[in-house]
A and B are shown apart, each in its own frame.
Chain A
Amino acid sequence: MPDVLKFHFDVDGSDFSSAGEASVLVKKKLRQLGYPADIIRKVSIAMYEGEINMVIHANGGTADVEVGEKDITIILKDEGPGIPDISLAMQEGYSTARENIRVLGFGAGMGLPNMKKYTDSMDIDTVIGKGTTITMKVNL
């Protein structure tokens, strides 16, 4: 049984301009490991949207990436406010991001839909007032 390659990142919630650094690093690592471009793109876009979401809504959190034999798993964990209505949050165009985030180019209501679109499975575990853990898998 080959080892699962693991990456761990702390996502800083206080600095929007650095949001996405972990995703850029993961993309670089996966390229070095020689994975196909479409797989790399799916993983990095989904993770990037998740990272941005954590910074916008949850004051940061952690991101873990596990590269297995059959799939790549991305686990994003925050201690933010939680998602009150997941089906509404999954609706394209729905966003609770404030105007100060929209002027930065996010808050179009495409974050969660994009994460679902680019992954083969996505599980959202959210508790109001406690936080959210999103687990996404991209099949290899």
Chain B
Amino acid sequence: MKIREIKEILGAELLCGECLDGDVFSACCSDMMSDVLAYVKDQGVLITGLVNPQVIRTANMMDMVCVVFVRSKIPTDDILELARESGIVVMRSDLRAFDACGLLYSAGLSQTSGDKHA
């Protein structure tokens, strides 16, 4: 799935990042960053309602390409700056995490769809 499709499916607002044609092979949804760090997936998207710089660092560590802040959360400028430095696309959506995950899963993205790339 392309990052552009994620934006469309979630009706999300793009906050930073330009390369929306990048591929995403897996998704992870959590507000606990250590849980995210426990499962390596390439080219993933992180869906979270947690808003702090550690979200971007965690995504960076995991080589994730996109972060979606759900539940109408708005990241601060320093968080977006970190994302720019790391080349991570950031969006925000008014959806709740459960709904965002459901929509992406129904559209073919899953936690395991990235396994062949792990």
Where the two chains meet, the residues of A that have a C-beta atom closer than 8 Å to any C-beta of B are 16-20, 23-24, 27, 37, 41, 44-45, 48-49, 52, 102, 104-111, 113-114, 117
Contacts and interface: CB of A to CB of B under 8 A. Distances in A.
Contacts of B57: 20, 23-24, 48
A102 B30 CA distance: 12
Given A27-B61, A37-B63, A111 B34 contact: yes
A114 B54 contact: no
How would you classify the secondary structure of chain B's contact residues: helix, strand, loop or mixed?
helix
A48 B55 CA distance: 12
Contact of A17 (B32, B53, B60): B53
Given A105-B32, A110-B37, A111-B34, A44 B61 contact: yes
A114 B61 contact: no
A7 B50 CA distance: 31
11 contacts: A16-B54, A18-B53, A20-B53, A27-B61, A37-B63, A49-B37, A52-B54, A105-B34, A108-B33, A109-B34, A114-B34
